[in-house]
Amino acid sequence: MGVRPRFQLLSRPRCHLCHEMEDLLREVLPEMGLEVTVHDVDSSLDWKNRFGEVIPVLLRDGKPVAKLYLDRRQLVRLARRSRRSR
């Protein structure tokens, strides 16, 4: 088996969209053998400059794959594609 993709969620503490996306990620990704780490977008000057107020942002291997909203169907498709590409 190859290297698993690395998912990171960039968020802010009082962001309701961020919390919704995090809940979805923590529900779906483990079922598919994948994990997500959550980071405050303001913890990195690069992230803060790149994404500003456009959060949440889901990164896969450091590249943005979703912004602001992600539904279950999109996430499952994205996760399956990620696993096949490895």
Instruction: Report the relative pairing of strands 36-40 and 7-11 from DSSP bridges.
Output: parallel
* CA dist., res. 29 & res. 48, Å (int): 25
- pLDDT tens digits for 5-51? 789 999 999 999 999 999 999 999 999 999 999 999 999 999 999 99
Task: Determine the topology of domain 7-84 in CATH.
Answer: Glutaredoxin (3.40.30)
Q: What local confidence, expressed as pLDDT, does residue 2 receive?
A: 55
Q: What is the mean pLDDT of residues 52-59?
A: 94
Q: Which amino acid is at 53?
A: E
Q: What is the mean pLDDT of residues 47-69?
A: 94
pTM value > 0.75: yes
Calculate the CA dihedral of residues 35, 6, 67, 14 and round it to 10 degrees: 50
Q: What local confidence, expressed as pLDDT, does residue 3 receive?
A: 60
Return left, alpha or beta for 52; rule: phi > 0 is left, psi -120 to 50 is alpha, else beta.
left
Q: What local confidence, expressed as pLDDT, does residue 1 receive?
A: 46
| DSSP 8-state symbol, 20 | H
